[in-house]
């Protein structure tokens, strides 16, 4: 049996951007290992940016005592589906962070997180499975973030905010801080449009845009 095999699941934009983060993550922890791309949409095994790219079925049958996979796909429902598949196959979720990611005190981050360059997670924060925080995003004190939440680049998530499962926060959105007794809540599966300025809680499942952010009615 070989040592741990590492892979990035998804070889499109998100995966190719997170591969260098994963490489520096391994180097920082003193592990020398190749990292595969897994992608189910390849006609045949290939090489992408210097890394072997294979299908999940091929990765699954590689011999190793342990396999660790970062799901690098922005669509949170796909992340959930793939995380469940990995779990069934007893393959662990891998978390990676850039060398300049800052994590302060008492931040509990579940498995499968992708913390890109210049991300800051401050103190006393809870974050669920497969969180994606893209370039320059931050999460301020006392936030609670659910599973499969996605931050595009430059999200400003201030203190005492609760973000429920599968919410998507667009590039450069600013979310006003809540208070300990009345956190600002972004509901399950809600979408916050790019550049939105969110000043009050957002119900589950809706899309909000603009400044101040308002619900985008479906036509
Ligand atoms: N993908 C996959 N298996 C799945 C679903 C998606 O391998 O079950 C791959 C898909 O082939 C594509 C990538 O994940 O290469 C998702 O890329 P996309 O451009 O949709 O989004 P992003 O890279 O921005 O997350």
The set of catalytic residues is 141
Ligand 1 contact via 57 beta carbon (within 6 Å): no
Q: Are residues 44 and 113 in the same domain?
A: no
Asked, for residue 218, whether it belongs to a domain, the answer is no
Is the confidence at residue 42, as pLDDT, over 80?
Answer: yes
- Secondary structure class of 17 (helix, strand, coil): helix
Which residue do the tokens 């940016």 mark?
A: 49
Instruction: Tell me how far apart the alpha carbons of residues 159 and 157 are, in angstroms, rounded to a whole number.
Output: 7
Which atom of ligand 1 is closest in space to residue 39's alpha carbon? 7
Ligand 1 contact via 18 beta carbon (within 6 Å): no
Asked, for residue 217, whether it belongs to a domain, the answer is no
Q: Total structural domains in the chain?
A: 2
User: Which of 8, 9, 12, 85 for mutating ligand 1's site (highest number of atoms within 8 Å of CB)?
Assistant: 12
Ligand 1 contact via 78 beta carbon (within 6 Å): yes
User: Which of 7, 73, 81, 85 for mutating ligand 1's site (highest number of atoms within 8 Å of CB)?
Assistant: 73
Ligand 1 contact via 71 beta carbon (within 6 Å): no
Instruction: Tell me how far apart the alpha carbons of residues 215 and 155 are, in angstroms, rounded to a whole number.
Output: 19
Tens digits of residue pLDDT in 87-106: 999 999 999 999 999 999 99
Q: Are residues 36 and 64 in the same domain?
A: yes
Ligand 1 contact via 12 beta carbon (within 6 Å): yes
Which atom of ligand 1 is closest in space to residue 75's alpha carbon? 25
Q: Yes or no: say if 82 and 64 are a contact pair by the CB < 8 Å rule.
A: no
Tens digits of residue pLDDT in 106-147: 999 999 999 999 999 999 999 999 999 999 999 999 999 999
Ligand 1 contact via 74 beta carbon (within 6 Å): yes
Please give the angle made by the CA atoms of 127, 133 and 139, to the nearest 5 degrees. Answer: 60
Q: Are residues 84 and 136 in the same domain?
A: no
What is the per-residue burial (b if ≥16 Cβ within 10 Å, else e) of 117-132? Answer: bbbbbbeebebbbbbb
Q: Give the mean pLDDT of the chain.
A: 97
- The whole domain housing 60 covers 2-94
At residue 2, the pLDDT reads: 58
Which atom of ligand 1 is closest in space to residue 41's alpha carbon? 11
Q: Which of 63, 94, 125 is the last residue of a domain?
A: 94
Is the confidence at residue 78, as pLDDT, over 60?
Answer: yes
Enter the pTM of the model.
0.97
- Strand pairing class (214-215; 207-209): antiparallel
Tens digits of residue pLDDT in 167-191: 999 999 999 999 999 999 999 999 9
**What's the gap in Å between 99 CA and the centre of ligand 1?**
25
No. of H helices and E strands in the chain?
A: 3, 25
User: Bridge-partner residues for 100, per DSSP?
Assistant: none
Ligand 1 contact via 39 beta carbon (within 6 Å): yes
Band the pLDDT of 56: cuts 50, 70, 90. very high
Q: Are residues 105 and 56 in the same domain?
A: no
Asked, for residue 215, whether it belongs to a domain, the answer is no
Asked, for residue 164, whether it belongs to a domain, the answer is yes
């Amino acid at each position: 049996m070989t040592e741990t095999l590492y892979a990035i699941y998804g070889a499109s934009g998100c995966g190719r951007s997170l591969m260098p983060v994963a490489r520096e993550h391994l180097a920082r922890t003193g592990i020398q290992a190749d990292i595969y791309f897994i992608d189910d949409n390849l006609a045949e095994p290939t090489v992408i940016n210097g890394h072997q790219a294979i299908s999940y079925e091929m990765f699954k049958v590689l011999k190793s005592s342990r396999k660790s996979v970062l799901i690098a796909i922005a669509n949170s429902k796909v992340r959930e589906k793939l995380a469940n598949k990995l779990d069934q196959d007893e393959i662990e979720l891998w978390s990676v962070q850039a060398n300049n990611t800052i994590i302060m005190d008492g931040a509990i981050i579940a498995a499968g997180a992708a913390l890109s360059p210049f991300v800051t997670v401050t103190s006393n924060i809870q974050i669920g499975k497969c969180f994606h925080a893209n370039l320059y995003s931050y999460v301020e004190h006392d936030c609670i973030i659910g599973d499969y939440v996605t931050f595009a680049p430059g999200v400003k998530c201030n203190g005492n905010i609760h973000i429920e499962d599968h919410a998507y926060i667009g590039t450069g959105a600013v979310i006003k801080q809540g208070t300990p007794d009345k956190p600002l809540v972004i509901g399950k599966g809600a979408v916050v449009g790019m550049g939105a300025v969110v000043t009050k809680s957002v119900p589950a499942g809706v899309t909000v845009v603009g400044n101040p952010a308002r619900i985008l009615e479906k036509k």
